[in-house]
Amino acid sequence: MIVVRGPSDETGFSESLARSLGAELVEAEHKLFPDGESYVRVPADLRGETVVVVQPTYYPQDKNLVELMLLADAARGSGASRVVGVAPYLAYTRQDKVFRPGEPVSIRAVLRALHASGVEVLATVEPHSKGELGHFPGKALGVGVMRYMAAKLSPRLHDPLVLSPDLGGVERAREFAEAIGADFDYLEKHRDRVTGEVSMRPKTLDASGREVVIVDDIISTGGTMALAARLLLGQGAKRVVAVCVHALLVGDAYAKLKTVGVDEVVAANTLPTPPGVQQVDVAPPVADAIKEVLGSG
Amino acid sequence: MIVVRGPSDETGFSESLARSLGAELVEAEHKLFPDGESYVRVPADLRGETVVVVQPTYYPQDKNLVELMLLADAARGSGASRVVGVAPYLAYTRQDKVFRPGEPVSIRAVLRALHASGVEVLATVEPHSKGELGHFPGKALGVGVMRYMAAKLSPRLHDPLVLSPDLGGVERAREFAEAIGADFDYLEKHRDRVTGEVSMRPKTLDASGREVVIVDDIISTGGTMALAARLLLGQGAKRVVAVCVHALLVGDAYAKLKTVGVDEVVAANTLPTPPGVQQVDVAPPVADAIKEVLGSG
């Protein structure tokens, strides 16, 4: 088995994955042509090998996606017996249905394109919704990592209250909390009809005097997380830790979180993060999921 | 039939194509999410329609390619009876074979991905080589436009000598020349074994005193074209016109051509070009090719 580090992996995910899989690690060659087209090459003999290509697809999403397609084509064309694509962060998961007529289901187009270019098994970390990977024509692995991250973070937490920013994410909060025997709840949003001001508080529990962990799958612009942290600190929370899997942290999102008083920002290593963010290496559970599916196949 | 103008078409290609096809023109809605993902939408009722999506895939190639995939998905998902993708300029055509082991056939990956996302018929202008479109699993149209461009330019040319910059492109020079009853030849390159200096001259004809038209499919950095023009003017050519289909003109390529004395730069409207470049609208022959394949299908 060979793990190929794609050009967008800058967090050590490939190295860790190769170690967990007991596989050889190969760095993909990469350059840009003067006109902006990507060139990639896998400098290894891939004949008869299971080839695992690691390429997270954060910004620039489209370049990273196309390079994953090119690497899959290269692996298949070079005689790999099986091509596994690993996009620790998978782009376009939020356009997973038609919200207004005339829209694409973007993740469907992306997943079909990845399959057509040679990805037979696709692994990603903590999918946004349960349904999105169903659009992949091959075998898709959506590896949940909330329990794994909770166990890794447990020594640094003290009887925390685990909160989801909304009802939709409460399952993640539950998984995280159960893994460390903590309470969990979700934040309910109220908008004042007169002032328009938004308030949020835990549905049933009280944050006062508690260490609070807010868990989400993605922090993008950080707006929701910053608002929640500010309000919870106002409600007497002792400390707020923001935990997410995919820390996109667009623009000044990280500064925004620190400014409102978030004590720690924790994320998985599915994409690069600013200095200061604590990274949890989630390659081991991804390796386990890959081993299981390859073993069963 | 509905022609959808994709966000990367800035040359009026879609409008001209719709006119030639007698089709309705619809502008795709387009925005970027804060994290850099593309959003597209086709604001029209596409049910039962043949939908022709126009999206040239010049820089940023990968974004433009992914948006073409999203638009094809949107059209198919909206009930279009047939989806035709038109990429007047098609990216990744130059990596059309494995030059070194471990490389992808990039154009194969791209064409398979476009098909998987919903493009059933793909039309492009003046493919780089004859073979590349064979990788498209659907029906592919490579519309040659040298004769068409020659006829359009004919009134501005005076008994020109038509040259290909190399033997590989001589077929294009022949087509251009035959359409206007002109001479043609190709440039032969010599490298001085002592000084390393490169010289080029027409294989059999003499450029001295002639108006010279150098024709190529793509001008990228403009290096070859600039060298050829400089040498031909040194050999007594009266005037040099640079004609290409796809004027990528990376960086200062246009300035480079003007500096060495190229009198006119002419290109098709397959992608946007700097002010000063004469554009020839090649949507009409593309419309003819589409009408033919749809009629026969």
What confidence tens digit (pLDDT) does each residue in A9-38 have? Answer: 999 999 999 999 999 999 999 999 999 999
Active-site residue among B189, B238, B256, B258? B189
Helix (H) or strand (E) holding A247: strand A239-247
Do B116 and B126 sit in the same domain of this protein?
A: yes
Q: Quick one: pLDDT at residue A129?
A: 84
Pair of tokens at residue B241: 């016109």
**CB pair distance less than 8 Å for A102 and B36:** no
The distance in angstroms from the start CA to the end CA of chain B is: 15
User: What is the distance between the alpha carbons of residues B94 and B85, in angstroms, rounded to a whole number?
Assistant: 20
Task: Give the pLDDT confidence of A181-190 residue by residue, as tens digits.
Answer: 999 999 999 9
Tokens of B250: 């990376």
Domain membership of residue A256 as a residue range: 147-280
Interface membership of A91 toward B (CB under 8 Å): yes
Stretch B231-256: mean pLDDT: 97
Task: Name chain B contacts of A251, Cβ cutoff 8 Å.
Answer: 34
**CATH number of the domain enclosing A199:** 3.40.50.2020
Query: Which has the closest alpha carbon to A27: A10, A50, A4, A47?
Result: A4
Kindly state whether residues A269 and A138 are assigned to the same domain: no
What's residue A128's pLDDT? Answer: 87
Q: What is the pTM of this model?
A: 0.96
- Would residue A97 show up in a list of annotated catalytic residues for this protein? no
CA-nearest residue to B117 within chain A is A109
> How does pLDDT run across A238-288, given as a tens digit for each residue?
999 999 999 999 999 999 999 999 999 999 999 999 999 999 999 999 999
ipTM: 0.95
SS3 A40: strand
Q: Is the pLDDT of residue B107 over 90?
A: yes
Among the partner residues A38, A73, A92, nearest to B108 by beta-carbon distance: A73
Mean pLDDT (chain B, rounded)? 96
Residue in B36, B66, B73 closest to A59 by CB: B36
If one counts the domains in chain A, the total is 2
Q: How far is the alpha carbon of A46 from chain B, nearest alpha carbon, in Å?
A: 8
**B113 and B235 fall within a common domain:** no
- pLDDT of B296 reads 65
Q: Does residue A24 share a domain with residue A137?
A: yes
Number of Cβ within 10 Å of residue A131's Cβ equals 11
Average model confidence (pLDDT) for chain A? 96
Question: Is there a single domain that holds both residue A11 and residue A37?
Answer: yes
A134 shares its domain with A169: no
* Pair A86, A109 in one domain: yes
Alpha-carbon dihedral A171, A175, A181, A185, rounded to 10 degrees: -20
Separation between Cα atoms, residue B154 and residue B176, nearest integer Å:
10
A297, pLDDT greater than 70: no
Q: Which residues pair with B212 in a beta bridge?
A: B161, B240
pLDDT for res A42: 98
Residues A93 and A112 reside in one and the same domain: yes
Distances (CA, A) of A192 to A129, A196, A198, B24: 30, 5, 6, 47
The pLDDT of residue A47 is above 60: yes
Asked if B166 and B243 sit in the same domain, the reply is: yes
Q: Does B297 have pLDDT greater than 60?
A: no
DSSP structure class, residue B54? E
Percent of chain A with pLDDT over 70: 99
Q: What is the pLDDT of residues B252-296, one digit of tens each?
A: 999 999 999 999 999 999 999 999 999 999 999 999 999 999 986
**CB B59 to CB A44 under 8 A?**
no
Tell me which chain A residues have a C-beta less than 8 angstroms from the C-beta of B30: none
- Among partner residues A33, A41, A116, which is closest to B112 by beta-carbon distance? A116
Compute the distance between CA of residue A60 and CA of residue B9 in angstroms, rounded to an integer. Answer: 21
Considering the domain architecture, whether residues B128 and B29 belong to the same structural domain is answered as yes
In this structure, the answer to whether residues B171 and B270 fall within a common structural domain is yes
Same domain for A184 and A117? no
The confidence band for A215, taking pLDDT boundaries of 50, 70 and 90, is very high
Give CA–CA dist B96/B164, Å, rounded.
Answer: 21
Structure confidence at residue A296 (pLDDT): 65
B22-69: pLDDT as tens digits: 999 999 999 999 999 999 999 999 999 999 999 999 999 999 999 999
Q: Which pLDDT value is given to residue B295?
A: 87
